[in-house]
Structure 1
Amino acid sequence: MLLAIEQGNTNTLFAVHDGQTWIAQWRAATHSTRTADEYAVWLSQLLGMAGLAMGAFDGCIISSVVPQSIFNLRNLARRYLHVEPLVIGENVELGIPIRIDKPSEAGADRLVNAIGAHIVYPGALIVIDSGTATTFDVIAADGGFEGGVIAPGINLSMEALHNAAAKLPRVAIQKPQRIIGKDTVGAMQSGVFWGYIGLIEGLVARIKSEWDRPMTVIGTGGVASLFHGATMAIDHFDSDLTIRGMLEIWRRHSTKA
């Protein structure tokens, strides 16, 4: 079995693949100071509830955008799973062209998404990943990573609005029934939600215009489901995009090994 650990700035996903399908997934808040022992206690409890054991794994792959956490995640795999993890970004051949000025600056999550999207969706793609940041990544028809756009995430924007304006409350993000808010909470929800729909639609249109050829748009990430049905700019919503890319990288590396 394979344990895939996909760590973002806000949440860390642990997913178990049995060789045929994903059989379990859990999320934890990302804390860069969490030790391997703390991860092990948490993970062992969840594995036990699913009828699984720490010793059942023969592989582990890690994708993290939090460099200071990689040491502890690697130790989790070594000490408790008894496997040497494959860490994306550390001399791991991804098998795709990275066509940006400084390839080393491309985030592991963005490259994994590129692979996960290319193996399923044909042609040129725009992958919109909605998390702490909202990224718009352009994937060429041959799978090459062409760069993209990075914007603040919707939760980050809502939090910044609350923190910077003394009289504005902290509110939950949801799709408002109307554009024009009738109270402060409704006005904030409308501004952030429909503002992000405008951001998505505007940037997708501009990217397509600059690319000047047909493109398919894929939405993924922790809050992507919020936008389902709210815009025609996104063609497909795919919650498993990242872990599919990690599985493909693992399989390619295992085949070469």
Structure 2
Amino acid sequence: MIVCLDSGNTRIKWGVHDGIEWLAQGAVAQADVGQLSRLVAEWPQPEKVVLANVAGAEAGGRIREQLAAWSPVIHEARSEFRRCGVTNLYKTPERLGIDRWCALLGARAQVSAAIVVVMAGTATTIDTLDADGNFLGGVIMPGVGLMLRSLAHGTAALPFAEGEYAANPRCTDDAIVSGVIEAQTGAIERIFSRLSDPAACCLLSGGYAEQLAGHLVIRHRLTHNLPLEGLRHLALET
């Protein structure tokens, strides 16, 4: 049995896999990290625990405190040059965010063609894999929520918008929400357009993935908890 944990800026996603299927998945807020102790009680003897943490050393320490009983089998994932069919062409491979690396590994396990991998969370990352599994690079931009908050906090007259998307917005809230959606999907589609593989597709994961997917005009697919999938494959190779 493998336990996978993806510690992001806002939430800690977790999953328990028996080698055939996911037995359970869930998430807790970073502020509620104490809830992870329930995993130890419910799944007392995993063979391996793999952790991807981008929330900093302090957050990682809190997670390890809650999972102290699993300490002998906890492995903290690191970005590498090559693993699970993916070659990392980042200038300094180990500097690639582990959440992005795990998402790439999970994506490669699902698609053999070229892929644009989108993680739509606190930040939005848009990464490209070619058909040979080479990670060509990617971009990082503020996520949907951060874009909305930046306009509300950085301007005197604009609200935190709770509008709806419209092709031609006719009120301020709709104009803000629509602008954010257009910016996010436009960046995804622009990067996707650079792929020459006719079988290429876009995989989206993260809290805002479904919202963005509804406005994309390229071939795409929602894949929940993509970093967990990558962690599972990583655990099988380490």
Structure 1 residues 85-234: aligned runs within 5 Å: 85-89=74-78, 94-95=83-84, 96-172=86-162, 175-176=164-165, 178-205=166-193, 207-208=194-195, 212-214=196-198, 215-234=200-219
Shift of 1:201: 1.9
Would the aligned equivalents of 1:60 and 1:83 in 2 still touch at CA under 8 Å?
no
How many correspondences in the alignment?
235
2: CA distance between counterparts of 1:213 and 1:93? 22
Contact kept? 1:2, 1:18, Cα under 8 Å: yes
> Mapping of 1:10-49 within 5 angstroms?
10-31=10-31, 39=33, 41-45=34-38, 47=39
Measure how far apart 1:233 and its partner are. Answer: 1.9
- The structure with higher relative contact order (CA 8 Å, sep 6+) is 2
The amino acid that maps onto 2:23 is I
Identify if the C-alpha distance between structure 1 residues 91 and 55 changes in structure 2 by more than 3 Å, giving closer, same or farther: farther
Q: Percent identity?
A: 26
Matches of 2:118 and 2:23, distance apart in 1 = 25
Deviation, 1:189, is: 1.6
Measured after TM superposition, the shift of residue 20 of structure 1 is 2.4
C-alpha distance in structure 2 between counterparts of 1:191 and 1:161, whole Å: 11
Please state how far the C-alpha of 1:158 moved relative to its aligned partner. Answer: 0.6
Cross-structure match for 1:34: none
Contact 1:8 1:65 (C-alpha < 8 Å) held by counterparts? yes
Q: What letter is aligned with 1:25?
A: Q
- The structure-2 alpha-carbon separation of the partners of 1:181 and 1:198, relative to structure 1 and needing over 3 Å to count, comes to same
Task: List, as ranges, runs of 4+ consecutive aligned residues in structure 1 with deviation greater than 4 Å.
Answer: 90-93
Q: C-alpha distance in 2, partners of 1:101/1:24?
A: 37
In 2: Cα distance, 1:120 partner to 1:228 partner: 18
Contact residue 161 and residue 174 of structure 2 kept, 8 A: no
Q: Is the 8 A contact 1:111 1:145 kept in 2?
A: no
In structure 2, distance between residues paired with 1:240 and 1:90: 18
Q: For residues 125 and 104 of structure 1, do their structure 2 counterparts lie closer, same or farther at Cα, with a shift above 3 Å needed?
A: same
> C-alpha separation between the residues in 1 aligned to 2:79 and 2:161?
40
The reply to whether residue 236 of structure 1 matches residue 194 of structure 2 is no
User: Which range moves more in the overlay, 20-29 or 244-253?
Assistant: 20-29
* C-alpha distance 93-190 of structure 1, shift in aligned 2 (>3 A): closer
CA deviations 1:1-27 (Å, max 9, x no partner) are 322110111221122223322122222
Structure 1's 234 and 242: CA in aligned 2 closer, same or farther, altered over 3 A?
farther
**Which residue of structure 1 aligns with residue 42 of structure 2?**
53
Greater displacement, 188-197 / 219-228: 188-197
Answer whether contact 1:115 1:143 (CA < 8 A) is retained: no
Q: Which has the higher strand share?
A: 2
* Runs of 5+ consecutive residues of structure 2 not aligned to the other structure: none
The alpha-carbon deviation at position 108 of structure 1 amounts to 0.6
Q: TM-score with structure 2 length normalisation? A: 0.86
Q: Normalized against structure 1, the TM-score is what? A: 0.80
**Pairwise CA RMSD:** 2.5
How far off its partner does 1:106 sit? 0.8
Question: Quick one: which amino acid aligns to residue 213 of structure 2?
Answer: H
